[in-house]
């Protein structure tokens, strides 16, 4: 089995506590961090070890043993995590379920849907609740895996679906990912067949029985292709995603150091959330769809920063001059705007829908353009004429008097949608205008409202003051509290007095650079309501990338291990800085030099606050010949010449970049080739 921290995360997410509850995302992160800290404390190479070695390693943290005190940290969090780690290394919880559409005409991917529990024949009684299963099409081409899921009910007997006079063994599982046709699964099989050859395991992907166990050494690799909550950037989903549907959480935050592909992955996840059935053949098609959804307003983007506020995000006041008078108007923030639009497309198709405010308002604006002199609105005993519409302001003339009178478009919309009651002196004008809008709506062609998903991307979500920005709305974004659910909640907004709720077709995707701020310091209210998806550096994504004999994968891995030892894993360097070298045939040393000069060295300067000595350690400059060191002492400064006479000056070392080192392949190789100085 290929053991990894991501694989351990998957294992923990599938595990259950003694009371049957699942581990929370925060607990999963804590446990993974705990085992990594324990391995570092003991000097143990955890993820390349075997099950027996891990047993001995864990034993050292048990009461009465060498690292007992360390194991008791965090109210025994460390030892609890290590005990689960033993189970992970001993587990083989993956099985193949088969489906031959020529022989069996029921079942198969035509009946498998995300989130809907499936009953499937399984001759083995070994699969337990929480184990992983994969549904594989056999007997016809293309062979391939068409669904992955988690076992929800262990082996039981029921009537044979083909012959009710007999019985058959079944299990139940809940799909987490489905491919409508097996072509993408076939691509996975090609890779796994190659992996089988590398590991020396003669494993057949054409099982004759349903419920065949998958060997440990390849089951984790298979999981990485299907269970995207492991935070792995799936190359398959990027290059051949014509058939993939993936269930996503309503609230998620991608976090990791710079250059780990957070923005790259956000585009995919946003498109998946907005259009779950959309397929693409390459990255260009994905980005084109992303831009199309942005133009339609179904994907919107905002960046948090230190001065970003509730008034910017939800609602606030904006000031402007009108006839040399200062006027304050209520303004909807980006969150209220996208909530409003999402609500209009929250419900599934209906036969006789009520026209939305936006439809009626558009009809009114068309009417207003056709009547430049103004639109007359009838009241019970009088009338008024709308003379101007400017942004959020509606200006009108009363039947009597010369005063300037205004209405607010946002207030009009809130009253129209039943979100606000208005009892002021302008109430008759609002009511009359709403009646006029409704009459315009009745003349519009009746069209069904189709449910559509909306996505709000919040970049740098950790840089804003979450309590200040979300305010009382932090509770409303919980999936169970969204409108459309049985536990739906709504609040009354303090500024406008509108009743407000968040619909269940609005996805929120945040990104967070851990080099800017630690995850531990993030607002706890936010952490409870979001799924946190780690985006770690993946040097293995650079496998095979060589520049003048420089192993880029190994170089990045060594750099990050040194940064982790000197700082922490939140300040590592992402593989994305080098990823463009992967697909180029004409890559040269000058390309690598540019990356180091423009990206890597400035990033290290920021991480270590200009501590050049430590930066030298990261780059192994202390072990290189001076000609190959990226950072060398600056001997150009002569203190005796600059400060003549009896001056007591404690001069410190001065450093400079050695430009010639960037042009030598040896300078980069010696980052990971440890030995005596040349």
Strands 244-246, 167-179: parallel, antiparallel or unpaired by DSSP? antiparallel
CA angle 123, 128, 129 (to 5 degrees): 125
The C-alpha R_g of the chain, in whole angstroms, comes to 31
According to the model, what pLDDT value does residue 530 have?
A: 85
- How many helices and strands (H and E) does the chain possess? 23, 24
In contact, 656 and 632? CB cutoff 8 Å? yes
C-beta atoms surrounding 265 within 10 Å: 23
3-state secondary structure of 196: helix
In contact, 357 and 416? CB cutoff 8 Å? yes
Helix, strand, coil percent content, the chain, rounded in steps of 5: 40, 20, 40
pLDDT digits (tens, 9 = 90+) for 395-448: 888 876 566 688 888 888 888 888 787 777 888 888 899 999 888 888 776 666
Helices 5-14 and 73-90, packing angle to 10 deg: 100
Spatial separation of the C-alpha atoms in residues 479 and 248, rounded to whole Å? 12
3-state secondary structure of 631: strand
Domain ranges in the chain? 5-90, 94-229, 248-350+451-536, 354-447, 539-672
Spatial separation of the C-alpha atoms in residues 470 and 447, rounded to whole Å? 35
C-beta atoms surrounding 154 within 10 Å: 15
In contact, 94 and 222? CB cutoff 8 Å? yes
* pTM of structure: 0.58
Spatial separation of the C-alpha atoms in residues 589 and 546, rounded to whole Å? 10
Spatial separation of the C-alpha atoms in residues 97 and 208, rounded to whole Å? 10
Strands 315-322, 325-332: parallel, antiparallel or unpaired by DSSP? antiparallel
In contact, 341 and 350? CB cutoff 8 Å? no
- Block residue for tokens 């939305």: 356
Residues of the chain with pLDDT under 50: 1-2, 105-110, 228-246, 349-352, 676-678
Q: What is the CATH number of domain 94-229?
A: 3.10.590
Spatial separation of the C-alpha atoms in residues 298 and 279, rounded to whole Å? 17
pLDDT digits (tens, 9 = 90+) for 321-351: 666 666 666 778 899 999 988 988 887 544 4
- Block residue for tokens 């587990």: 91
CATH superfamily of 248-350+451-536: P-loop containing nucleotide triphosphate hydrolases (3.40.50.300)
Q: Kindly give the residue spans of alpha helices, DSSP state H, lying in 333-462.
A: 334-344, 357-370, 409-416, 427-443
C-beta atoms surrounding 666 within 10 Å: 16
Q: Per the structure block, which two tokens stand in for 268?
A: 């995919």
Which regions of 180-324 does DSSP assign to beta strands (E)? 212-213, 244-246, 251-256, 299-303, 315-322
DSSP 485: B
CATH of 354-447, one of 3.90.700, 3.30.920, 3.40.390, 3.30.1330: 3.30.920
C-beta atoms surrounding 409 within 10 Å: 18
According to the model, what pLDDT value does residue 224 have?
A: 65
Q: Which long-range contacts does 441-444 make (Cβ < 8 Å, 24+ apart)?
A: 441/354, 441/355, 441/359, 441/360, 441/363, 442/355, 443/363, 444/355, 444/359, 444/360, 444/363
Q: Per the structure block, which two tokens stand in for 531?
A: 């799924």
Query: How far apart, in Å, are the Cα atoms of 423 and each of 63, 278, 429, 496, 556?
Result: 70, 47, 11, 13, 66
């Amino acid at each position: 089995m290929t053991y990894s921290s991501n694989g351990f995360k998957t294992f923990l997410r599938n595990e259950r506590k003694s009371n049957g509850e699942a581990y929370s995302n925060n607990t999963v992160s804590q446990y993974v961090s705990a085992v990594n800290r324990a391995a570092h404390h003991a000097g143990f190479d955890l993820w390349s070890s075997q099950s027996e070695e891990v047993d001995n390693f864990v034993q050292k943290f048990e009461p009465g043993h060498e690292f007992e005190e360390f194991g008791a940290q965090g109210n025994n969090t460390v030892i609890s995590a290590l005990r689960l780690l033993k189970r992970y290394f001993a587990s083989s919880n993956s099985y193949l379920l088969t489906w031959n559409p020529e022989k069996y005409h029921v079942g198969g991917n035509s009946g498998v849907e995300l989130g809907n529990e499936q009953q499937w024949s399984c001759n083995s009684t070994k699969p337990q609740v929480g184990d992983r299963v994969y549904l594989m099409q056999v007997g016809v081409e293309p062979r391939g895996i068409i669904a992955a899921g988690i076992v929800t009910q262990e082996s039981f007997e029921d009537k044979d679906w083909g012959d009710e006079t007999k019985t058959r063994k079944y299990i139940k599982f809940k799909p987490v990912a489905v491919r409508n046709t097996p072509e993408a699964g076939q691509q996975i099989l090609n890779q796994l067949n190659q992996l089988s050859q590398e590991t020396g395991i003669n494993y057949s992907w054409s099982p004759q029985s349903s419920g065949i166990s998958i060997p440990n050494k390849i089951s984790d690799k298979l999981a990485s292709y299907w269970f995207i909550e492991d935070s792995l950037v799936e190359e398959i989903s990027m290059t051949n995603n014509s058939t993939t549907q993936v269930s996503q959480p309503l609230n998620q935050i991608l976090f990791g150091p710079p250059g780990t592909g957070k923005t790259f992955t956000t585009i995919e996840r946003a498109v998946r959330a907005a259009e779950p059935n959309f397929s693409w053949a390459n990255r260009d098609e994905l980005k084109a769809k992303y831009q199309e959804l942005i133009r339609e307003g179904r994907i919107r983007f905002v960046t948090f920063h230190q001065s970003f506020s509730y008034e910017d995000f939800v609602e606030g006041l904006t000031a402007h001059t009108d006839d040399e008078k200062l006027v304050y108007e209520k303004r909807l923030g980006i969150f209220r705007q996208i909530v409003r639009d999402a609500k209009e497309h929250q419900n599934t198709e209906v036969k006789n829908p009520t026209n939305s405010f936006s439809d009626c308002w558009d009809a009114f604006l068309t009417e207003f353009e056709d009547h430049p002199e103004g639109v007359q609105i009838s009241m019970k005993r009088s009338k008024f004429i709308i003379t101007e519409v400017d942004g959020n302001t509606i200006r009108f003339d009363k039947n009597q008097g010369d005063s300037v009178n205004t209405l607010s478009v946002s207030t009009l919309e809130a009253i129209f949608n039943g979100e606000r009651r208005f009892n002021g002196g302008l109430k008759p004008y609002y009511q009359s205008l709403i009646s006029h809008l409704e009459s315009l709506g009745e003349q519009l062609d009746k069209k069904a409202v189709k449910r559509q998903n909306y996505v709000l991307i919040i970049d740098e979500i950790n840089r804003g003051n979450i309590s200040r920005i979300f305010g009382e709305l932090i509770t409303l974004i919980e999936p169970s509290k969204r409108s459309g659910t049985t536990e739906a909640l709504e609040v009354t907004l303090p500024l406008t007095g509108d009743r407000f709720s968040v619909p269940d077709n609005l996805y929120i995707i945040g990104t967070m650079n851990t080099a800017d701020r630690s995850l531990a310091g993030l607002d706890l209210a936010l952490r409870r309501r979001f799924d946190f998806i780690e985006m770690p550096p993946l040097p293995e994504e650079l496998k095979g990338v060589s520049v003048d004999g420089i192993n880029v994968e190994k170089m990045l891995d060594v750099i990050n291990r040194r940064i982790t030892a000197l700082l922490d894993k939140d300040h590592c360097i992402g593989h994305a800085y080098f990823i463009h070298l992967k697909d180029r045939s004409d890559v040269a040393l000058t390309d690598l030099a540019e990356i180091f000069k423009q990206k890597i060295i400035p990033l290290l300067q920021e991480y270590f606050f200009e501590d050049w000595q430590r930066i030298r350690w990261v780059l192994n400059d202390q072990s290189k010949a001076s000609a190959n060191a990226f950072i060398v002492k600056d001997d150009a400064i002569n203190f005796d010449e600059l400060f003549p006479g009896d001056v007591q000056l404690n001069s410190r070392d001065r450093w400079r970049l050695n430009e010639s080192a960037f042009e030598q392949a040896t300078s980069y190789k010696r980052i990971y080739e440890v030995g005596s100085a040349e």
